[in-house]
Amino acid sequence: MQQLQKENRIMKGIGGFYYVQTPSGPVECRAKGIFRKRGISPLAGDLVRLESEGGGTVIADILPRKNFFVRPPVANLDLLFVVAATVEPAPNFLVLDKMCAIALDKGVTPVLVATKTDLASADSFSQVYARSGIEVLLAGQDEDAALARMRELIAGRLCAFTGNSGVGKSTLLNRLLPGLRQETAGISKKLGRGRHTTREVELFEAFGGLVADTPGFSSLDMERANVILKENLQFCFPEFEPLLNQCRFTGCSHRREKDCAVRRAVEQGLIHPRRYENYLTMYENASAIKEWEQNG
């Protein structure tokens, strides 16, 4: 199991105050003014260097980040659980592929969690992602096994959850971390601030890792704030990677080019057609964004 560095890590930031876990315990502090001048904001998940100033403690430096998200505002994420229901609401595979691609684009491992599998079959999840390289967990019919695997994955990692309203994300989190709400209330009391007055991220220790509680953030929030360049999109579909050097043309977009190894794999059933169709849709969207930026 990998070791996750927790010392001098920002666990929460709100109203200009930051709650930092240190070797001697939690510390509430502010950030030096230099960050504001540089247009940089410390984020939950950041590893920081602290200094004493004016009788208090300040964040003096932010150590190099592995990655960061604008929404939800979190840094150094290792793993993202993408939660979707088999029914009510029905899964939107384009949205799921977008969330997984955003994670992979930032060096984060995505894991799909299918909920309500006791109400409707999860066969579509298993079929679409069987060759994708993305792990799928089934919560509902065999929830104990899914929760056990989630605990294994959280160990040694900084993790977050995303999922649209109604998919059962809150229920899943409550079963995985039954003490989360009580711990949340306790920390908010220490900070002296209301927890639900902002959309800030808060980190909690769990199973040897850290879990980011991200209230109020949906898949749409993530998509709008974390754009993938069209030339990077092919690397966000793990099943494409072994084929990328087999295309006839360098810089193949895997859409209409001759002798494209990716298209051939789709025809041979090695890549699920729904995944490929979603890639094409995402590519067109990324192209439109780039053209808009150039012409805007």
- Is 194 annotated among the ligand-binding residues? no
Residue 162 in marked binding region? no
Asked if residue 116 belongs to a known ligand binding site, the reply is yes
100 is in an annotated binding site: no
Annotated ligand binding at 124? The verdict is no
Known binding residue 260? Answer is yes
272 is in an annotated binding site: no
C-alpha distances in Å from residue 99, one per residue of 37, 115, 154, 189, 274: 32, 17, 19, 33, 15
Q: Is 252 annotated as a binding residue?
A: yes
Judge whether 159 is annotated as a binding position: no
6 belongs to an annotated ligand binding site: no
Q: Is 188 annotated as a binding residue?
A: no
The reply to whether 250 sits in an annotated binding site is no
| 132 known member of a binding site | no
Q: Among candidates 40, 272, 19, which has minimal Cα distance to 133?
A: 272
Q: Is 115 annotated as a binding residue?
A: yes
Residue 168 among known ligand-binding residues: yes
Residue list for the binding site: 115-118, 163-171, 247, 252, 254, 260
Going by the annotation, the residues of the binding site for GTP are 115-118, 163-171
Annotated binding site for Zn(2+): 247, 252, 254, 260
